[in-house]
Structure 1
Amino acid sequence: MSKLDQYIAAATRDNTRQSYRAAIEHFEVQWKGLLPATADSVARYLAEYADTLAVSTLRQRLAALAQWHNAQGFPDPTKAPVVRQAMRGIRALHPAQEKQAKPLQLDELERVVGGLESAINAARRCNDRASELRSLRDKSLILLGFWRGFRSDELSRLCVEQVEASAGEGISCFLGRTKGDRQNLGSTFRAPALSRLCPVDAYLDWVGAAQLNTGPVYRAIDRWGHVGETGLHIDSIAPLLRAILRKGGVASAGAYSGHSLRRGFANWAASDGWDVKSLMEYVGWRDIKSALRYLDASVSYAKGRMEHSMIGRAGK
């Protein structure tokens, strides 16, 4: 691969590239479509899978087909009126409520961290290094993920050399790219040290015990207590989180996903009185729609405003 090819490849995120490759394979192999495609064939492809695939999945398939045609120098058939009309009709006949990750509540976080701390102490008494390291890693991952509102991919890409943590003060994490950073300018995320459920202390305890100086922050640990060289894969974060919650006694742990920490923090912050602008700046949302998709607290806010209004009217 030439240097130019390397830079072009780096412009597209790995998970996006993989999903686009799978979408093209589905169009060609499973549906037997021909590339380059015509607008009519793309519209028929959408109609074929309209009642079995989510609208969001169909949009992703269109994006993959558009990218393939643009990259190969062919006209983009997905912009044709017949394709746009087909998508409008599919949205009208197959409306679906967007699925949201179950938010982790603060009391659940406390319960899970308490269980992890007990597991750490028990492992130390038994001189079980593997169990101690796993519990330290899991405690750090869940606390930093919650208080910083990180996604799974962000947790998987954190590197030790790009994290600065000071006990009693705070932690600073640099990520070269994030979902909202289309220009790949990089972003720095900071969190304060806390008197309890502290992400800073948890991080320092983990990297100190694992003796990590460079490379990924969160890694696999084998049964002998050896820490892996590579970071946890993005697809392993959600199952790991569910396992942590299940061990911590959280009901319906299978309903949680990699976005549960982010949604949990957003809902806690909103219910604690953070305004949406401050929350957007802290978490890194670029637009109000992204923020509101994460918030369940709007119902609580509405209730509070309604009750306040009724009290005011009753006093007149």
Structure 2
Amino acid sequence: MSFTVWLDEVKEAAPNSIDRRITGVTVTARGLGATVPKEATLAARQLVKTFRNDPKRMARGRGEAVPITPSDLRKMNTADRTRAPKSESRRQRTRAVPELARLRDRAINTLRFAVAGRNEEMSALDDPYIKLVSEGLEVHVPSVRGRPPRDVAVASGEHPDTCPVRCWLAWQQAKLAAGAAPGGPAFLPVDQWGHLGTVRLAPDSCGRAMTRAAEQAGLEARITGYSGRRGVVTTGRKKGERAEKLRAQGGWSAKSAVFWGYVDDDEKWEDAATDGNGL
């Protein structure tokens, strides 16, 4: 309980962020063998519920990430990747994003969309987890934060710029040519000069790859790593995909409030109760 109060009063975290931190701490502690009473977790979540009734606390958050579509991905993957200098920066000339970084971001963003991957999952992927088959890719998404692993089938796309198979192969070829060790992390850092790093790309950096590409494509909506996960649900439901199929793709549980919240938000105007009732 004191941890929850500290996050609220000292860190001034948004209620949704506090809820995620409670889950993370609980799962990590239990994974290390510590005992976390269910009563303590329940009391903390009850307190967070009261926070959600406070508009000022809810305003701390940056707002919910919007879903992206395949069309958005094409804009992101084909946008001009030069960076103009910031007004406060001493650097006065534009700088092009290294080609190696561009190929990596394309691979991250398209593969994330295809497997409905979380930042931590994209960071934890290794080359052997991504297997090329005749139909596309078979991706083993590893367990992170106590969540069960899952195996996801990724079909080849219709468009070269958003095909997760072609984007992955292009990055893989470029990465190995740049000196990456075979069988290592799927995604590695690339510095501003195009030099490839050796330590796996951090989860936050995997998320920034999508945000950065969206900004360079001129997308005005707030796009984050979770936009890909939500986009899978939105586009899948519009195509008539079954809910259980989409849940399996992204590793959501049958009772996941987040998953069903995405479904409800995206379908709230379908067959609205007041539609056509003579008002």
- TM-score higher than 0.5: yes
In 2, the alpha carbon distance for the partners of 1:112 and 1:248 equals 5
In 1, the alpha carbon distance for the partners of 2:204 and 2:122 equals 11
Relative contact order, higher structure (CA 8 A, sep 6+): 2
- Are positions 1:209 and 2:170 aligned together? no
Structure 2 CA distance for partners of 1:79 and 1:203, relative to 1, 3 Å: same
Aligned-pair CA distance for 1:100: 2.6
* 8 Å contact from structure 1 (residues 50, 90) kept in 2: no
* 8 Å contact from structure 1 (residues 130, 222) kept in 2: no
In 2, the alpha carbon distance for the partners of 1:65 and 1:265 equals 28
In 2, the alpha carbon distance for the partners of 1:214 and 1:110 equals 29
Q: Deviations over 1:253-273 (max 9, x none)?
A: xx2222111111211111222
> Could you say which residue in structure 2 is the equivalent of 1:189?
152
The percent identity for this pair of structures is: 20
> Could you say which residue in structure 1 is the equivalent of 2:39?
79
Residue 245 of structure 2 is aligned with which of 271, 278, 286?
278
In 1, the alpha carbon distance for the partners of 2:24 and 2:105 equals 36
> Could you say which residue in structure 2 is the equivalent of 1:175?
141
* Rg larger in structure: 1
Task: Give TM-score, length-normalised by structure 1.
Answer: 0.64
Aligned length: 247
- Say what the alpha-carbon RMSD is for the aligned residues: 3.9
Instruction: Name stretches of at least 5 consecutive residues in structure 1 with no aligned partner.
Output: 1-41, 120-128
> Could you say which residue in structure 2 is the equivalent of 1:108?
72
* 8 Å contact from structure 2 (residues 66, 223) kept in 1: yes
Q: Deviations over 1:82-123 (max 9, x none)?
A: x93x8646634652669532211332212112227x98xxxx
Structure 2 CA distance for partners of 1:236 and 1:169, relative to 1, 3 Å: same
Structure 2 CA distance for partners of 1:92 and 1:193, relative to 1, 3 Å: same
- Are positions 1:233 and 2:202 aligned together? yes
Instruction: Name stretches of at least 5 consecutive residues in structure 2 with no aligned partner.
Output: 83-95
Residue 129 of structure 2 is aligned with which of 141, 159, 162?
162
The one-letter amino acid of 2:239's match is: D
* 8 Å contact from structure 1 (residues 133, 206) kept in 2: yes
> Could you say which residue in structure 2 is the equivalent of 1:293?
261
Q: Deviations over 1:125-146 (max 9, x none)?
A: xxxx972212111111111111
Q: Deviations over 1:136-187 (max 9, x none)?
A: 1111111111122111111111111221124x621011133145735xxx32
In 2, the alpha carbon distance for the partners of 1:65 and 1:161 equals 30
